[in-house]
Amino acid sequence: MDAMTIAPLPTHTLNDGLELPAIGFGTWPLRGDDAVAAVRSALDVGYRLLDTAVNYENEAEVGRAVRESAVPRAEILVQTKVPGRFHARDLAIRSVEDSLRRMHLDVLDLVLVHWPNPSQGRYVEVVEALLTCRERGLVRSVGVSNYTERLLDEVIEATGFTPSVNQVELHPSFPQAELVARHESLGIRTQAWSPLARMESEGDGDDPLTRIAAAHRISPAQAVLAWHVARGIVPLPKSADPARQVANLAALEITLTPDEVAAITALGRPDGRLFDGDPETHEED
């Protein structure tokens, strides 16, 4: 497929002016040649936002795919994350410099704090370090991941800075309605990790997702991604399969009715997380 003939993706304008594609490509747990092939294919079929992290150990491969792609670097947004063991001012700056070196890039489009690790108590300091990176021209946009409302409030209160995005666990079993509403009032764009809940649960044939998918002649995965898009949330589906990459991207063109959106949101459960990933207690090294 000719990468140059693909229509531009719709975008959201972030609170710092960055144009963020309405869907991105997740790269965990891709590694090695598989990662290069999957990211190159994702760019070929039209993805323009790539989500990686130091802890995915695939930054070099993501960088290689960007360099080898026919898509110009200026059309691609590369987003990475600073891990918990770098939660200190100097270490976080070094983490960004190391990411740039591993990816052979001059600038990162977005850098997020991967997890707040509240027990370390440095979730404000690491944001300040990323702001220093932005001042130095290493990073275009500074965001966070897995921050709760309480932690967002603390960051904003302490720094006067509002992160551009918060990337959180979000899928039909865990729709995060309150946090998403808070993001909207603060001007933070929500990104969804594990947007398909890793496709771990099977419908029973008569569940809302299966019914909505059948009504639109789409797959349940596409119905889930269209639900994210309808809510203004940027999903980051991972697929190593080029056909599923295309199908996931096509969800941007599907419009669900408000009732369908509400029916999928109603699938949420308080214990709907995929694993014990409560950001108030989870520690990411």
Ligand X SMILES: NC(=O)c1ccc[n+]([C@@H]2O[C@H](COP(=O)([O-])OP(=O)(O)OC[C@H]3O[C@@H](n4cnc5c(N)ncnc54)[C@H](OP(=O)(O)O)[C@@H]3O)[C@@H](O)[C@H]2O)c1
Q: Which residues are catalytic?
A: 56
235 prior amide bond cis, ω within 30: no
DSSP label of 203: P
Instruction: Name the residue nearer to ligand X (CB basis): 205 or 258.
Output: 205
- Position 167 contacts ligand X (CB under 6 A): yes
Is 114 known as a binding-site position? Answer: yes
Q: Which of 238, 252, 263, 264 is the binder for ligand X (CB under 6 A)?
A: 238
Of 13-21, 103-111, 193-201, 205-213: span binding ligand X (CB under 6 A):
193-201
Torsion 207-210-216-222 (CA) sign: positive
Measured from the CB of residue 8, what is the shortest distance to ligand X in angstroms?
Answer: 22
Q: Which of 41, 95, 117, 145 is the binder for ligand X (CB under 6 A)?
A: 145
CB hemisphere CA count around 126 (13 angstroms): 31
- Position 27 contacts ligand X (CB under 6 A): yes
Of 4-12, 83-91, 188-196, 260-268: span binding ligand X (CB under 6 A):
188-196
Sequence-separated (6 or more) residues with CB below 8 Å from residue 92: 82, 86, 125, 126, 129, 130, 133
Cα of first residue to Cα of last residue in the chain, in angstroms, is 40
Q: Which of 80, 146, 164, 166 is the binder for ligand X (CB under 6 A)?
A: 146
Please report, as ranges, the residues that interact with ligand X according to CB under 6 A.
Answer: 26-28, 51, 114, 145-146, 167, 193-199, 219, 221, 236-241, 244, 247-248
